[in-house]
Amino acid sequence: MKNYINILCIGAGYVGAPTMSVIAQKCKECKVTVVDINKKRIEQWNSDTLPIYEPGLNEIVTSVRGKNLFFSTEIEKGIKESDIIFVAVNTPTKEFGFGAGMATDLQYWEKAARQILEHSESSKIVIEKSTLPVKTAESMERILQKSNNGIRFDILSNPEFLAEGTAVNDLLNPDRVLIGSKETKDGLKARKKLVDIYSNWVDKDKIITSNIWSSELSKLVANGFLAQRVSSINSISALCEVTNADIKEVAKAIGMDSRIGSKFLNASIGFGGSCFKKDILNLVYICKSYGLDEVAQYWENVVNINIYQQERFVLKMIKSMFNTLASRKICILGSAFKANTDDTRESPALFIARKLVEEKVELVISDPRALNNTKLSLKDLNESISYIEDPYEASIGSHAIIICTEWDKYSKLDYNKIYKQMVKPAFLFDGRNIVDRKKLFEIGFNVFSIGKSDLTHY
Ligand code: NAD
Ligand code: UGA
C-alpha cells in the first residue's frame, strides 16, 4: 500500500514550479510531480540552469529534486498516478473574438481540465492554482462531471499570492493561504486534505477558508487593490512634478497613517508584470458582463492611469531633450518588470523601448538578469536595439540614461565614471527614484525623477 500523497501540478511556470518545490520540501509524505507541455522548460527544471531566476529557488529545487520532486512531460502518466492535481497553467488576456483585450483566455486551462477528465482512472481533488474568473470552478466541475465511470472530482480554489523576486519567502511565510471549497461533506473533506498539506509549515490561523467564488474573486480583488495603490501614488506624482511637492515625502506622510500603511506607495514608471493588468481587465470584464458599468469603469481607470504614467514619462523625455530624440543614443538600465526577476512580461521598460524606437533613438538595453527575455519580447525590433549587460559599457557615448528597474546595483553605480563617458548635456531619467539625485546633479547630470521637480543645468 502506498504511504505517500501523489501530487501533480500541471504548468511548470513562475507559479507552478516554485510552489511545488516548497510543498515537496515541507511535506515529505508527498511525492510531487510538475508537468508541462513545454519540453525545453522541463529540461531546464531538470538541469543546473533553472528556466526562471528567483532568489533562493535554486537551493530549494536542488534539495528535493529527484527525491520527492520531479519535473516531467509525461502529463497522462502524471494524471493517472495523482491523488491531488494543482492546475497552474497560464491564463492570459484573450486576444481574439468576444472579450478580446479584456476577458481571460481560458484555452490552456480548459485543455488541462479535459486532459484530467480523459486520463483519470481514480477520484481526485483538482485545485485551481491559476488566477481565474469568478465561477470558473463551476465550469471545471461541469467538464469533469462528464465522467460516468464512478470517478469523483472535488474542485478547490487555492489562489497564489506570491510576488516574483520574493516568491520563495512569500511561499515559506505567506500572509495567508486561501482555500475555497463547496460547503458539502465532500467539499469540506477535500478542503481538509489541502489544509493538512499547508499545515506542515503555515500557522493554522493563516490558513483561511471560504466558498469557492469568494476565493476566486479575492485573488482578482487583491491584485486590483495592490495595483490601485500604485496608480493612486503615480497619479499624485504627476501633481507633485508641477507643484514642487515631493512624492516620497507625500508617500511617507500618508503611509504613516496606520489606516493607509506604507507598502506599495513607491511612485514609478508604472506597474508591470504578467498579472496586474490582466487580472484587473478580467475584473472589469466580469463587472461589465453583470451590467455593473460604474464598477467596471472605476477599476479600468487603474489601468488607464498606468498607461498614462508610462506615456507621460516618454513625453517628458522628449520635451526635456529639446523635442527630438532622433539619432540620440539612449541607454535603458533595467528591463525586468521589477528587481530580482528575469521576467519582462508587461514591463514598462518594453513600452518605453518601443516608443523610443519609434522616435528613431539608437537604443541600448542593459539588465543583469532579463536580457534573454527582453530580446525575445522585442525580437521584432532587434535591429534597432543593442543589448549590453554591463551598465558602464552600455552607457558609453549615450545622451541619456533611463532607470526602468530598481535593481539595487543601479543605485550604487559610479555615476562620475558614467557621466565622463556620456555626451553632454547628459540626462538621467530615474523611473524608480533610486539614485541620489542631488549628488548626480552636482556631478553635472540633468536629473528627472518621478514626482519630484526637475534638476536641470539649463
Ligand atoms: P507561466 O506562463 O510562467 O507558466 C504556465 C505554464 O503552463 C507554461 O509553462 C505552459 O507551457 C504550461 N501549460 C499551459 N497549458 C498546459 C497544459 N495543458 N498542460 C501542461 N502545461 C501547460 O505562468 P505563471 O506566471 O506561472 O502563471 C500561472 C498562473 O498563476 C496564471 O493564472 C497567473 O495569473 C497566476 N499567478 C501568477 C503569479 C506570478 O507571479 N507569475 C503569481 C500569482 C498567480
Ligand atoms: C503581484 C502581487 O504582488 C502578488 O501578490 C500576486 O500574486 C502577483 O502579482 C500575481 O498575481 O501575479 P508581482 O506582479 O510579481 O506580484 O510583483 P509586485 O511586487 O506586486 O509588483 C508589480 C509591479 O508594480 C512591478 O512592476 C513593480 O515595480 C510595481 N510597483 C510595486 C510599483 O511601481 N510601486 C510599488 O510601490 C510597488
| 374-426: pLDDT as tens digits | 999 999 998 899 999 999 999 999 999 999 999 999 999 999 999 999 999 99
Per the DSSP assignment, residues forming a β-bridge with 333 are 366, 403
Of 57, 157, 271, 307, the one to substitute when testing ligand 2's pocket (max ligand atoms within 8 A of C-beta) is 271
Name the architecture of domain 218-458.
3-Layer(aba) Sandwich (3.40)
Q: Provide the pLDDT confidence category of residue 4 given band limits of 50, 70 and 90.
A: confident
The residues that are catalytic are: 275
3-class DSSP assignment, residue 157: strand
Residues with a CB atom less than 6 Å from ligand 1: 10-16, 35-38, 41, 75, 88-91, 108, 111-112, 130-131, 160, 162, 164, 274-275
Q: How many CA atoms lie within 13 A of 279 on its CB side?
A: 26
CATH number assigned to the domain covering 5-202: 3.40.50.720
Asked if the domains 5-202 and 218-458 are classified in one and the same CATH topology, the answer is yes
Residue 142 has pLDDT above 90, yes or no: no
CA of 303 to the centre of ligand 2 (A): 14
8-state DSSP, 131: -
Contact call for residues 287 and 99 (beta carbons, < 8 A): no
Residue 33 has pLDDT above 60, yes or no: yes
Tell me which amino acid residue 13 is. Answer: G
Residue 2 has pLDDT above 70, yes or no: no
Domain boundary assignment for the chain: 5-202, 218-458
Percent of the chain with pLDDT over 90: 95
Looking at residue 219, what is its pLDDT? 97
CA of 47 to the centre of ligand 1 (A): 20
pLDDT, tens only, 223-240: 999 999 999 999 999 999
Q: How many CA atoms lie within 13 A of 421 on its CB side?
A: 14
Residue bearing the CA closest to ligand 2, atom 17: 163
- The rounded Cα 419 to chain-centroid distance in angstroms is 33
Residues contacting residue 48 through CB under 8 Å, at least 6 positions apart: none
